[in-house]
Amino acid sequence: MIEGILVEGLIFAIMALGILISYRILDMADLTCDGSVATGAAVATMCIVNGLGITVGLIMSFLAGVLCGLVTATIHNKLKLPVLLAGILTMTMLYSVNLRILGNKANVSLVRVDTLYRLFPEWFSFIPSDFAALFGTLIFVVAVTVLMDVFFRTDMGMAIGAMGGNEQVIISQGMNPASLKLIGLGLSNGFIALSGGLLAQYQGFADANLGQGMVVQGLAAVMIGEFLFSSNRISLITLRCILGSIIYKGLMFLGRKYGYLIGITPNDFKLLTGILVIISLTIAKTRSMASDKGARKKAIERTMKKEEENHA
Amino acid sequence: MLDIEHVTKVFFPGTVNEKVALENINLHVEKGDVICVIGSNGSGKSTLFNMIAGTFPVTNGTIRIDGRDITNAPEYKRAFFIGRIFQDPTKGTSANMSIEDNMNLAYTKGMKGLRFGLTAERRKEFRKLLEPIGLADRMADNVGLLSGGQRQALTLLMATLSQPSLMLLDEHTAALDPRNAEIVMDLTKHYIEEGKLTAMMVTHNMQFAIDYGNRLIMMDEGHIILDIKGEEKAKLTVPSLVEKFREIRKKDYTSDEGLLTE
């Protein structure tokens, strides 16, 4: 049970990392996610079903996600549309594309083929099969996270981070913000699609409706993570995002298991997730206001002290 | 170095809000010139800077820098030759990153690769550069924690790091308190002198404009109405500058009146 939550949380964390890139690092409200996560699942599933193998499937799902991100970024760059609208356009178009990828079926199952979650217990036969899935996912997520950390420590990664804070800086340093947005959104959706590819294997099928409401869920995970601790180091930012995802999945599990006690059904989860995001934003806002107030108070105290010293 | 020929900028052309912000501007800047630009609000100083930096396209005319035609080049490409500092101290640095990361960003212009530029060696170099502005011990701190004066000083350092052909300083001390403004201005003078930079500086302080630099430009209603350099500038005083301004404007007014009566 607990390992189930952890596996779900870890798979979900890869998507949350993608959302972290678009929402927090790039500061772009990208809704492509709802489409690209399903694209990732569809591409991985079709690759595996058609015998191309798991590795090819995951690589292809990542690349498909990158492509989705590039489409959104191009619409945003070329037509100067707000990224929100560009994302909605891509997401909507992707729904049809995903159905095409799945061969005009709403879902394709992965029974009777080898998936990662069928192979993990074989590879890690030295531990109980339930934990083998967890172990395998953990290795995968750690590898992805380390790659992401390393990328955002490079000069290019840092430039992308700087652009999220202040686009003018990037222009002043002779970089084209449009290309950085392409790279950033491509990477973000690549991660999201990769998570979709894993998710399809974990649940044993790909579904064209898989992505519905994923952005908000991912955002909730990112925000829960931000409550854990504050840092400006990328490795800690990604770590707290992963922890936030696991906590989110844990909360949803509790909701499913004990929700009936207070009359909550899985139908209410989207509402509750939305409320969770709103509450997180409210708390974050009051928190930053409080710290501003604190800083102001301290500044006043400092000047008072200085004046007293001057008098003395 | 910088050649501006017949540059005109019309905002909202063809609408009731049509405004001619710059009209047939011709300006030639020599290498090593330090030019103070003065003029009242709406005289076109900022528009001129925006045209040079490429924030908006020009309506007409050409702009060349070091002989290269940059009239239609996007802003980020011109940034290779132009270092610009804004009035708003938050515009020049990225608040959510540390000082050393910001410095690293400014170390080389242009698209960044997948390398780890911030080496121990470079850190040492940054430390030395940050010493004069008192930020050497705060290199790992986020820029958002700095005061406006400190941020502007850092922006200045970052802009001069790549030795741009031309520095554009758009009232870069106007948003600071008097003490910090003085510190940042002293730093500006220091960097310009040290790097033998060519600079254009918008200021509202006439006395400062007279004292500093080798050339003074006064703008009014989208025109350059005064361009004083060298010895003539050295002899300039505030009253004589005001007198000159009156003279030129009066001439204009009389001709305007002439137009009205005829």
* CATH number of the domain within which A189 lies: 1.10.3470.10
**Hey, of B80, B81, B112, B169, which one would you mutate to test binding to chain A, going by the most A CBs within 10 A of its CB?**
B112
- Chain A environment of B101 (Cβ under 8 Å): 158, 161-162
Nearest-by-CA chain B residue for A27: B96
Average pLDDT over residues A223-231: 87
Q: Please indicate, yes or no, whether residues A276 and A254 belong to a single structural domain of this protein.
A: no
The residue segments making up the domain with residue A273 are: 265-312
Q: Please indicate, yes or no, whether residues A130 and A273 belong to a single structural domain of this protein.
A: no
**By the CB < 8 Å criterion, does A159 face chain B?**
yes
Residue A285 has pLDDT above 60, yes or no: yes
Residue A90: count of CB within 10 angstroms of its CB: 29
Average pLDDT over residues A68-87: 95
Question: For helices A33-49 and A83-101, what crossing angle results, to 10°?
Answer: 20
A97 CA: distance to closest CA in chain B (Å): 33
**Hey, of A172, A187, A291, which one would you mutate to test binding to chain B, going by the most B CBs within 10 A of its CB?**
A172
Which of A176, A179, A232 minimises the CB distance to B98? A232
**Is the full-model pTM beyond 0.90?**
no
- Chain A environment of B103 (Cβ under 8 Å): none
Instruction: Tell me which of A70-74, A85-89, A218-222, B252-256 is least confident.
Output: B252-256
Q: Please indicate, yes or no, whether residues A229 and A284 belong to a single structural domain of this protein.
A: no
Cβ–Cβ < 8 Å for A223, A217: no
Nearest-by-CA chain A residue for B90: A166
Which of A155, A164, A174 minimises the CB distance to B104? A155
- The helix or strand, by DSSP H or E, that contains position A96, with its residue range, turns out to be helix A83-101
Average pLDDT over residues A139-143: 95
pLDDT in tens, B130-142: 988 888 888 888 8
Band (pLDDT 50/70/90 cuts) for residue A4 is confident
> What's the Cα-to-Cα distance from A127 to each of A3, A117, A133, B132, rounded to whole Å?
13, 14, 10, 60
- The helix or strand, by DSSP H or E, that contains position A155, with its residue range, turns out to be helix A155-165
CA distance A296 to A242: 34
pLDDT in tens, A243-260: 999 999 999 888 888 888
A163 CA: distance to closest CA in chain B (Å): 8
CA distance A249 to A195: 15
Q: Please indicate, yes or no, whether residues A278 and A195 belong to a single structural domain of this protein.
A: no
Q: Please indicate, yes or no, whether residues A176 and A88 belong to a single structural domain of this protein.
A: yes
pLDDT value for A301: 79
**By the CB < 8 Å criterion, does A147 face chain B?**
no
Q: Please indicate, yes or no, whether residues A88 and A142 belong to a single structural domain of this protein.
A: yes
The residue segments making up the domain with residue B132 are: 2-261
Average pLDDT over residues B4-13: 91
Average pLDDT over residues A95-108: 92
pLDDT value for A311: 74
> Do A156 and B112 count as a contact with CB atoms less than 8 A apart?
yes
**By the CB < 8 Å criterion, does A99 face chain B?**
no
First to last CA, chain B: 44
- Chain B environment of A162 (Cβ under 8 Å): 94, 97, 101-102, 105
pLDDT value for B259: 44
Residue B30 DSSP SS3: coil
Average pLDDT over residues A215-243: 90
A181 CA: distance to closest CA in chain B (Å): 13
Cβ–Cβ < 8 Å for B59, B72: no
**By the CB < 8 Å criterion, does A236 face chain B?**
no
Q: Please indicate, yes or no, whether residues A83 and A136 belong to a single structural domain of this protein.
A: yes
Average pLDDT over residues B87-106: 90
Q: Please indicate, yes or no, whether residues A21 and A139 belong to a single structural domain of this protein.
A: yes
Q: Please indicate, yes or no, whether residues A154 and A270 belong to a single structural domain of this protein.
A: no
Structural domain count, chain B: 1
- Chain B environment of A165 (Cβ under 8 Å): 94-97
Structural domain count, chain A: 2
Interface A–B counts its CB contacts (< 8 A) at 92
**Hey, of B65, B70, B76, which one would you mutate to test binding to chain A, going by the most A CBs within 10 A of its CB?**
B76
pLDDT value for B254: 55
> Do B75 and A151 count as a contact with CB atoms less than 8 A apart?
no
Q: Please indicate, yes or no, whether residues A128 and A187 belong to a single structural domain of this protein.
A: yes
pLDDT in tens, B192-227: 998 899 999 998 888 888 888 889 999 988 889 889
Give me the CATH number covering residue B204. Answer: 3.40.50.300
Nearest to A69 by CA among A38, A96, A36: A36
A142 CA: distance to closest CA in chain B (Å): 20
Q: Please indicate, yes or no, whether residues A221 and A273 belong to a single structural domain of this protein.
A: no
